[in-house]
Amino acid sequence: MRRSSLATRLFLSATAWVVVILVITGFVLSSVYRDATERAFDRRLNLYLRTLIAEVATPDEPPDRQFQSLGEPLFELPLSGWYWQITRTDTDKPDVRASRSLWDKKLPKLEDQGIELTPAGIRIGYVDGPEGQTLRIVERQVDLGADGKFLVAVAGDASEIFDETRSFDYYLGGTFAALGIVLLLTTIFQVRFGLAPLKRISEAIADIRSGRTERLEGNFPVEIAPLARETNALIDANRGIVERARTHVGNLAHAIKTPLSVIVNEASAHGLDPFASKVLEQAEVMRNQVAHHLERARIAARVSIVATVTEVAPAIEALRRTMEKIHRDRGITIEVKADPHARFRGERQDLEEMAGNLVDNACKWASSQVFIEVLMERPAESGAGPVLRIIVDDDGRGLSAVERAQVSRRGQRLDESKPGSGLGLSIVTDLAALYGGSLSLGTAPIGGLRAELLLPAM
């Protein structure tokens, strides 16, 4: 699975948090507004309730003038949703008086609905009223002593509460949607421009790795500047290590070759002596071993350096011209087909050493023709880098499977009549492995041996 970028993860995380915060805030504000609207509605109902109780407590008022102080025309409009009802409860046959709006209906008792008294001695809640309306109703027991006991109730159309709350929710949702879009745009802006220095560092490191530059250059924010400094310091330290390794390898090569040369010269002076012959034989073995291991050490030091890229086509063309001159007396034709965009992620001298050994070996064994092909291949697996494929074919006698396994071993030679130490293919194999590549031998289409070298590319 492909990993998402840091900017994408930050954006998704910020988006999720913005959405969660806005949703929670929206629910809280909607609930607070609904409670405030409900309390305002209840204050209105309580005002009418107290007015009715005052009217009940003054029975001397003429009937035609009672309950005129409510000042609400909706109590006169039939089934308007606004009702009052006064029920005398201390008689066997309750006496009920109600607003004209209630018509011939009756308000349900909250006590029968299971609604408990509040500390203020009233009951308040929602009930189903006439014509399927949802009512907000408040009722209270009034004891006037000798004048009787009454249950006074006032009800209002609860759709006013619901409509107010719904309207507020619509406005709130629109406002929060606009706010969310602004916040997300702001987040995108901050993520994109806030992470821009990291992108610059990433691109600069890619340039270093590809050989286009040697250090991280430019001005970086104070938060990123230490990373750039430490990266440059790491690059400098790496180069220093490589240079010291090269120096030590050169010193070691010089220190060992000189005593070996003295031994060989002394033994050569007694060429007929069996002991001298044995010394010469073992000295040659030692020389080959030293050359092999010093070459590996030198190669390993070079491979570890950062920011080295080699154009392959010019190197192979130069190699072709050199080999044609070396094998001019044998009339060997060397044909090259190279991708002009092919680039090797390593040093030119290592590429020349690997390809040179393969081409030289092909020229030694070819009858008349050597063919070199250079290909750039994109990886099939996600995350892998491009691959450089160098194929060297000759039209010689070729090798069997057993012989191919034998010549890959260090110092093995199938024909002592051919010049060389037997280290060529071994060096190519070791050097390719240090770069993460490989060497394989097979049968060429033109009849001889095919050497196929795989190396990292850019």
Taking only the tens place, the pLDDT of each residue in 49-77 is: 988 888 887 766 555 555 555 677 888 88
Cβ neighbours of 136 (radius 10 Å): 23
Selected residue with higher pLDDT from 40 and 120: 40
Angle at 51 between CA 45 and CA 54, to 5 degrees: 140
CB 127 within 8 A of CB 112: no
Mean pLDDT of 177-202: 81
3-state secondary structure of 54: helix
Tokens of 116: 């408990």
3-state secondary structure of 363: helix
Pick the CATH number of 7-164 from 3.20.20, 3.40.1130, 3.40.50, 3.30.450: 3.30.450
Topology, domain 308-456:
Heat Shock Protein 90 (3.30.565)
Q: 310: exposed, middle or buried (C-beta count within 10 Å: 0-12, 13-18, 19+)? A: buried
Q: What percent of the chain has pLDDT over 90?
A: 21
pLDDT in tens, 359-417: 998 898 898 899 999 998 877 666 567 889 999 999 988 887 777 777 655 444 444 44
